[in-house]
Amino acid sequence: MRDTKKEVEQLCLKLEESTKLKRNGKCIKFTNTAHNTTTPIDSWKFLDFDYGKDKVQLPIQARGLFTTDNNSIVVRGYDKFFNVDEKSFTKEAELKKSTTGPYDVTLKENGCIIFISGLASGDILVCSKHSTGVRDDNTRNHALEGEAHLRQQLGEERVGELARYLHKHNLTAVTELCDDEFEEHVLPYPKDKSGLYLHGLNYNTIKFQTVPISDVVKFAQDWGFKTIEYLSFDNVDELFQFLHKCSETGTYNGREVEGFVIRCKRNGEDFFFKYKFEEPYLLYRQFREVTRQMLGGTPAPSIKIKKNKYITKKYLEFVEKLFAEKPDLKESFNLGHGIIHVRQLFLQDLHETNGMNLLSIDAKLTEEVRKLKLDNGGVDEETTFLLVSISTLGCGKTTVFNTLHSLFPDWIHIQNDNVGKNAKVKITDLALQALDNYPVVIFDRNNSEFRERKQIFTTIAEKRHLYLDERKEIKYIGINFVNDISEDELWRITFNRVKERGDNHQSLKAASDEELTTKVMKGFMSRFQPVDTKRFPDSQFDHVINLKLNENDSSLANVKIIIDELSREYPQLIKNRPSDEEIETKFKKSLEYKPTFTKDMTSSNKKKDPTYYGIAIHRQNMLDSLNELDKNPEYNKLKDECLVQESFHVTLAHVASARGAERKAKWKKIKATFGKGEGKQGEKEYLEFHARVKLIQFVINRGKLVCIKCEVVSIHDNKSNQVVDIEAINRHMHVTIGCFPPTKAVESNATLEELYRDDVHDVKPDGVYQVAEDVIEVKNLVNPVELGDQKVFVYY
């Protein structure tokens, strides 16, 4: 089975065209030389979330594709396949209708993909998912490791025979490298089980065509690969009965497995889907992540635990004690080793062997705590609730919250509008203090941007030990005032409301200054970022209550929605629901509310001294440059947890750094060159300058952050295009890619300062460096990237 050269050439042209796209189907091309040859190999990769989308038409669905000479496919992975219920076409009911058997069920091994193929020269070609050959970086080279395993497993002579056989038959051998000494995943592989497991033989064709699993197993036995177990079902109902039964224990034949891959036919063509077990693997991953947070400096009581809280707390207590007794295990964990061993020690400590039993223990502990709370008559002293509004101006949040406070006097209502601009104590600190004394704290601020919501979670995590007992649990409840409404409708409703309110507000005096009111409201609306619980920081909410916003006064209905949802989700919180009559009486009273405090908003229009100057880095340019980090576990963790920054910038100078005669002079010159702009508090303002920035080196402070060291090549005046002569205050120019809470972006600068302390080199070589308590990984870009026309801005 072979495509014609012309068909492959046309495919490569389409792939080349898609590398020029900015999004939706963008392809990433990486060219390298096959190991021990001079043959150039092109790798083609799409972003994972573009596969399976109806609106994105990819030239090919292969996940792992390598070509040479633009006319020959030399490695072809599986078409991207999805979990049951992940896509509309993998819903269980749909799969039963649209697929045909036999259904071959293979165990999902827990390693990294290695592709093996043969070149026309007779050389073996071994690839990881998207790379082959020697690379000039310090990350684990899965392709070379896979080749070393192949030569050891088969022997040199057989490797040559395999290369010729695969080339002759136009096949790619798809294997899984499972070796805990090289790289740990979730499930353990003892030494005798380590190696290359063969689970597929794909034809190197544009259309996905794969060899039946029975022939794959025979091939593995003949050539010396490790084999995978498989079962066959002719009946689809029997197949799903088997899958559901295994998911109850997370095991197959007494062995913990991550799930199964099912091979069948759809529309007469080869089709794969997977059935992954959620548990105990999500719990195992959570163990790994909370340990990393603890090693990154977050106190165990401050670590946010999403699920299975009580067993995870027990695990953290165990690990804290274990690392104190055996610091070598702590060091190994920091370097990515011993993760499974630590988990197994925890299981041994509980006298358990099956991870599913941990879920039973957690359920038992949860029930015990629940009963204890009920016995104590409702909310216990260890649980407190923070109601966090997400809104823009004019949504009625203060009326809603005043009504709730009036109905429940032991709930405290803290208003940002009552906190003066120059107040030394911020609203987050006030909320923290209140959480120690009240069962419910209402955090009345708009929190319209991700950064504001993030600030709540990170500040409370950092400071909670100053105010709260470590046993105290905080439930974060998002009160979403802006839900399912168009921008035009949102503006019309809220602006009319604010106009009708007139001067009856702490800061917005619509009757006295409609122009300022309009400007402030438009600023809020332009910055509003809707709630997205799939990404950080909104994923930190324990529950989000979506409210209504309409032409009529919807605030009364919203009070009832909040009370009813809290009663349903947390029955111990509201033991006796107020009657509708009581709610309406208190609501009418709240409408009479007159603020006694006035916050001066006009000062925000006065010119202020800048907080910092920076260069805004185009987001897609930056994301494209991060492709070299695709195999880095810290970067992948940032992506998985949605912690990659929404926007990127290089800080040129910050007022806090302008100390000492030399730095003050630099700051003064920068201000004189760039000007102060309009000076709008809390806003970024673009200036009439642009810059060229060179990205040089990735710096990964494990468990804390990822950043890129860079160089500002030049800054130009937009009007004259002349280079301006300024010197940045920061010694190490950098872009923060993302941070693990509670680490803040400012720590990127501290990381680089520590890394390069007393160092004469401008750029450190690739490697892993121990700096005080931090493990810092350095990886220079294979091809340093220069970005032109990046805008200079000032922030107040």
Q: Residue 458 is which amino acid?
A: T
- Residue 156 confidence (pLDDT) above 90: no
- pLDDT band (50, 70, 90) for residue 377: very low
- Residue 604 confidence (pLDDT) above 50: no
> Based on the domain organization, do 369 and 398 belong to the same domain?
no
> Based on the domain organization, do 210 and 292 belong to the same domain?
no
- Residue 367 confidence (pLDDT) above 60: yes
Which residue, 326, 356, 375, sits at the end of a domain? 375
Question: Other CB atoms closer than 10 Å to residue 267's CB: what's the count?
Answer: 8
- Name the one residue in this structure whose structure tokens are 């509004």: 389
Beta strand ranges found along 397-462 (DSSP E): 411-415, 440-444
- Residue 705 confidence (pLDDT) above 90: yes
Residues 82-94, mean pLDDT to the nearest whole number: 89
Q: Which of 26, 45, 108, 226 is catalytic?
A: 108
Lowest mean pLDDT among 86-90, 606-610, 775-779: 606-610
CA dihedral (445, 451, 455, 457) positive or negative: positive
> Based on the domain organization, do 161 and 285 belong to the same domain?
no
CATH of the domain at 566: 3.40.50.300
pLDDT value for 344: 85
- Residue 380 confidence (pLDDT) above 70: no
pLDDT value for 504: 46
Phi-psi region of 604 (alpha: psi -120 to 50; beta: other; left: phi over 0): alpha
pLDDT digits (tens, 9 = 90+) for 609-645: 788 899 999 887 788 788 888 778 888 888 877 788 8
> Based on the domain organization, do 214 and 286 belong to the same domain?
no
Containing 388, the helix (H) or strand (E) segment is strand 383-390
Q: Is 108 a catalytic residue?
A: yes
CA 366 to centroid of chain Cα atoms: 28
pLDDT value for 757: 77
Residues 531-559, mean pLDDT to the nearest whole number: 87
Residues 753-769, mean pLDDT to the nearest whole number: 77
> Based on the domain organization, do 629 and 564 belong to the same domain?
no
Token pair for residue 324?
Answer: 């104190």
Lowest mean pLDDT among 130-134, 250-254, 278-282: 278-282
pLDDT value for 6: 92
- pLDDT band (50, 70, 90) for residue 691: very high
Q: 174 with 79: CB under 8 angstroms? A: no
Residues 372-385, mean pLDDT to the nearest whole number: 61
> Based on the domain organization, do 307 and 212 belong to the same domain?
no
Instruction: Tell me the residue range of the domain where 216 lies.
Output: 5-276
- pLDDT band (50, 70, 90) for residue 597: very low
Beta strand ranges found along 624-704 (DSSP E): 648-654, 684-701
Which residue, 572, 601, 630, sits at the end of a domain? 601
- Residue 470 confidence (pLDDT) above 80: no
pLDDT digits (tens, 9 = 90+) for 10-32: 999 999 999 888 777 889 888 98
pLDDT value for 692: 92
- pLDDT band (50, 70, 90) for residue 506: very low
- Residue 264 confidence (pLDDT) above 90: yes
Residues 456-485, mean pLDDT to the nearest whole number: 84
pLDDT digits (tens, 9 = 90+) for 180-216: 666 665 566 667 778 899 999 999 999 999 999 999 9
Residues 429-456, mean pLDDT to the nearest whole number: 86
- Residue 605 confidence (pLDDT) above 50: no
> Based on the domain organization, do 595 and 614 belong to the same domain?
no
Mean pLDDT of the chain: 84
Lowest mean pLDDT among 96-105, 354-363, 368-377: 368-377
> Based on the domain organization, do 539 and 415 belong to the same domain?
yes
654 vs 368, more confident: 654
CATH of the domain at 739: 3.90.1740
- Residue 138 confidence (pLDDT) above 80: no
How many C-alpha atoms does 586 have within 13 Å on its Cβ side? 21
494 vs 679, more confident: 494
> Based on the domain organization, do 87 and 205 belong to the same domain?
yes
Domain total in the chain: 4
DSSP assignment, residue 63? S
Cα–Cα distances in angstroms (integers) from residue 10 to residues 3, 206, 274, 601, 713, in the given order: 11, 11, 31, 61, 39
Q: 654 with 612: CB under 8 angstroms? A: yes
> Based on the domain organization, do 244 and 301 belong to the same domain?
no
Q: For residue 100, what are the β-bridge partners? A: 265
Which residue, 226, 253, 276, sits at the end of a domain? 276
Lowest mean pLDDT among 10-19, 90-99, 420-429, 666-675: 420-429
Q: Shortest CA distance to 272 belongs to which of 191, 197, 212, 189?
A: 212
- pLDDT band (50, 70, 90) for residue 74: very high
Instruction: State how far the Cα of 748 lies from the Cα of 706, in Å rounded to an integer.
Output: 8
CATH of the domain at 104: 3.30.470.30
> Based on the domain organization, do 69 and 197 belong to the same domain?
yes
Residues 539-556, mean pLDDT to the nearest whole number: 87
Lowest mean pLDDT among 351-365, 705-719, 725-739: 351-365
> Based on the domain organization, do 255 and 106 belong to the same domain?
yes
pLDDT value for 511: 45
Cα–Cα distances in angstroms (integers) from residue 470 to residues 409, 463, 464, 579, in the given order: 26, 11, 8, 36
Q: Residue 725 is which amino acid?
A: D
pLDDT value for 72: 93
